[in-house]
Amino acid sequence: MSESFPNSPVTKPLRIAFFGTPEFAGKCLREIHGGPHKIVAVITSPDKKSGRGQKMSSSYVKRAATDLKLPMHQPKNLKAPDFVAAFSKLNCDIAIVVAFRMLPEVIWDAPRYGSINLHASLLPQLRGAAPIQWAIRHKLTETGVTTFALQHAIDTGDILLQANVPISPLETAATLHDKLLIRGQKLLTQTLEKLIRGELKPVAQHKLNKKEERLNAPKLDRTNCRIDWTQSAENVEHMIRSLSPYPTSFCSTPWGDFKVISAQLIDTDCKIAAPGDATILQNKLLVSCQDRWLELTKIVPKGKKPMNANAWINGLQPSKRDSLGNWS
């Protein structure tokens, strides 16, 4: 069972176990590795088949750990007795968790000071698996990063440190990801520095004086990535940016499902049509939303590579250009 965070300075270096999978986590791993602490193990997801060729691929964190020559584990089951026993023998002071699946208590409570998670939002706002995308989709003007102590319920642990990050008017998931990554790396370092100085003061989330509406960030799937053209054009444009470049919004067309990478609001005298109706105007691809037209600027037609929308238009047979159908 873990102890409380220390109230007085502790001897460096800390023995750290790092849990993570994607690029965001891998770059945080490199940041910690460049500091004074000792990473005694890296835990990441097992290799899996991906792509058309179904070749085995490894996580960004695995590639980073291999490059840094760090000991690594890829357990399929975090509760498996052999992994639990191996983890216990590491005698960790702290576990750092970044963009990883939920840990069982037997793991997160095993290190001397428990486990610290880095979350890409200002908790308790945007709890869940996709805080970056939902921050844009909810039209927030500011988000941030939080370090917190893990406990039973996901994203509910006591807050350790937070840092604000502004959201620009044309922010995409990619650009916000990079801004949060830079700030998150620094916040992790600051959290570890405060820990060893005995200055970490956890604050329960329910004690934070936050009066704004509570927004969640659920896992992204096919249902909440499908474009709903009955929404306002502004809402649809926000949604498209929030999912660009990954996992990408999509819609159904007579040519199969199209992914939409980017779009922009457009002023036109063209009469509004039924939501989802698509048309070509001055070599621009427009789709009608609830209140106005939206121009799709970059798309991925089924079975094709990403392309500018006008390139797709130029490839259409002239007879097909007059009626693009409904893209709902």
Angle at 225 between CA 224 and CA 229, to 5 degrees: 90
Match domain 222-320 to its CATH number in 3.30.499.10, 3.20.20.410, 3.10.25.10, 3.40.50.300.
Answer: 3.10.25.10
In whole angstroms, how far apart are CA 31 and each of 58, 195, 227, 258?
20, 17, 37, 38
Both tokens of 118, joined, read 């880095």
pLDDT band, residue 318 (cuts 50/70/90):
confident
Instruction: Tell me the CATH number for domain 15-207.
Output: 3.40.50.170
Please list the residue range(s) of the chain that carry CATH number 3.40.50.170: 15-207
> Is the model's pLDDT at 253 over the cut of 90?
yes
Please list the residue range(s) of the chain that carry CATH number 3.10.25.10: 222-320
Mean pLDDT of 220-224: 96
Residue listed under structure tokens 């409380």:
4
Tell me what pLDDT residue 319 has: 82
Does the pTM exceed 0.85?
yes
Per-residue pLDDT of 286-317, as tens digits, reads 999 999 999 999 999 999 999 999 999 999 98
Per-residue pLDDT of 63-106, as tens digits, reads 999 999 999 999 999 999 999 999 999 999 999 999 999 999 99
Helix ranges (H only) for the chain are: 23-33, 60-67, 81-88, 105-108, 131-137, 173-197, 222-225, 233-242, 309-314
> Is the model's pLDDT at 210 over the cut of 80?
no
> Is the model's pLDDT at 2 over the cut of 80?
no
**Which regions of the chain does DSSP assign to beta strands (E)?**
15-20, 38-43, 48-50, 55-57, 72-73, 94-98, 115-119, 142-149, 159-166, 249-253, 256-265, 278-281, 284-288, 293-300, 307-308
Mean pLDDT of 23-33: 96
Residue with the bigger pLDDT between 321 and 43: it is 43
DSSP at 216:
B
> Is the model's pLDDT at 1 over the cut of 80?
no
Query: Quick one: CA dihedral 30, 161, 156, 174, positive or negative?
Result: negative
Q: pLDDT above 90 covers what percent of the chain?
A: 88
Mean pLDDT of 200-207: 93
CB 48 within 8 A of CB 75: no
Residues constituting the chain: 328
CB neighbour class for 173 (10 Å; exposed up to 12, middle 13-18, buried from 19): buried
